[in-house]
A and B are shown apart, each in its own frame.
Chain A
Amino acid sequence: MAGPAILAPSGLQALLDVLRARGYRVLGPQVRDGAIVLAELADAAALPVGVGDAQAPGRYRLRDGEPDRVFGFATTAQSPKAVLFPPDELLWRGRRTADGFSIEPVAPADEPDHRPVAVLGVRGCDVAAIGIHDRVLLGRAHVDAHYAARREEAFLVAVTCSAPGGTCFCASVGTGPRPRAGSDLVLTELTEPHRFLVEATTAAGEAVLAELPTAPATADDLAAADALVEAATAQMGRSLRTDDLHELLPASAESPRWAAIAERCLACTNCTAVCPTCFCTGVEDASDLTGDLDERHRVWDSCFSLPYSYIHGGAVRTWTASRYRQWLTHKLASWQDQFGTSGCVGCGRCITWCPAGIDLTAEVATIRELAEAHDAVAAASDGDVLGGHR
Chain B
Amino acid sequence: MTAPMLDRTPGVAGVAGVAEAPATATGTAHAAAAAADPMLPRPFRVTARHLDTRDTVTLALDPLDGVPLAFAAGQFTMLHAFGVGEVPISISGDPRSCGPLLHTIRDVGSVTHALVGATPGTAIGVRGPFGTGWEVGAGQGGDVVVIAGGIGLAPLRPALLELAHDRAAYGRVVLLYGARSPEDILFAGDLARWAAHHRITVEVTVDYGPPDWTGRVGLVTDLVPRAGFDPAHALALVCGPEVMMRAVATALVARGVAPERVRLSMERNMKCGVGLCGHCQLRELFLCLDGPVLGFDRLAPLMDVREL
Which residues on A are within 8 Å of B, measured CB to CB? Answer: 21-24, 91-92, 94, 96, 99-103, 105, 115-116, 127-128, 130-132, 134-145, 148, 151-153, 155, 173-175, 180-184, 201-204, 207-208, 242-243, 250, 253-254, 279-283, 285, 287, 291, 294, 296, 298, 301, 303, 308-313, 316-319, 322, 325-326, 329-330, 333-334, 336-342, 344-345
Contacts and interface: CB of A to CB of B under 8 A. Distances in A.
B308 A94 contact: no
Interface residues of B, number: 68
A250 to B, nearest CB: 7
Instruction: Give the interface SS of chain A, mostly helix, strand, loop or mixed.
Output: mixed
29 contacts: A24-B4, A92-B39, A101-B82, A128-B13, A134-B24, A141-B274, A145-B33, A148-B30, A153-B6, A174-B15, A181-B11, A182-B10, A184-B8, A207-B5, A253-B308, A281-B271, A281-B272, A283-B85, A285-B85, A303-B281, A312-B109, A319-B307, A329-B283, A330-B281, A339-B21, A340-B18, A341-B14, A341-B21, A344-B15
B40 interface: yes
Contacts of A144: 33, 276
Contacts of A301: 271, 277-279
A101 B11 contact: no
A23 B5 CA distance: 9
Contact of A341 (B15, B108, B272, B275): B15
Interface in B9-43: 10-22, 24, 26, 29-30, 32-34, 37-43
A329 B308 CA distance: 10
B123 interface: yes
Most chain B C-beta atoms within 10 Å of own C-beta, residue among A105, A280, A316: A316
A116 B4 contact: yes
A145 B35 CA distance: 10
A145 B1 CA distance: 24
Nearest to A334: B284
A284 B284 CA distance: 26
A207 B277 CA distance: 36
Given A317-B307, A338-B284, 20 more contacts: A22-B2, A23-B4, A100-B64, A131-B11, A134-B26, A138-B10, A140-B24, A140-B275, A144-B276, A175-B13, A182-B13, A202-B8, A207-B5, A253-B308, A279-B278, A280-B278, A291-B83, A303-B281, A325-B308, A339-B21
A209 to B, nearest CB: 12
A254 to B, nearest CB: 7
Top 5 nearest A-B pairs (CB, nearest first) are A174-B16, A100-B123, A340-B21, A131-B13, A139-B24
A148 B29 contact: yes
Contacts of B286: 338
Contacts of A128: 13-15
A322 B308 contact: yes
B292 to A, nearest CB: 12
A293 to B, nearest CB: 8
Contacts of A334: 281, 283-284
A329 B22 CA distance: 23
B243 to A, nearest CB: 11
A180 B84 CA distance: 45
Interface in B222-270: 241, 267-269
A280 B279 contact: yes
A243 B16 CA distance: 11
A342 B15 contact: yes
Contacts of B109: 312
B283 to A, nearest CB: 5
A128 B278 CA distance: 20
Given A103-B125, A340-B19, A23 B3 contact: yes
B45 interface: yes
Contacts of A329: 283
B63 to A, nearest CB: 11
B94 interface: no
B277 A139 contact: no
A298 B271 CA distance: 10
B279 A94 contact: no
Nearest to A310: B269
Contacts of B20: 340-341
A138 B29 contact: yes
A105 B125 CA distance: 14
B48 to A, nearest CB: 16
A151 B13 CA distance: 14
A192 B162 CA distance: 77
B143 interface: no
Most chain B C-beta atoms within 10 Å of own C-beta, residue among A100, A243, A326, A330: A100
B45 A175 contact: no
Contacts of B38: 142
Contacts of A318: 307
B13 A138 contact: no
Nearest to B151: A312
B212 interface: no
Contact of B16 (A137, A173, A202, A330): A173
Contacts of A330: 281
A103 B80 CA distance: 12
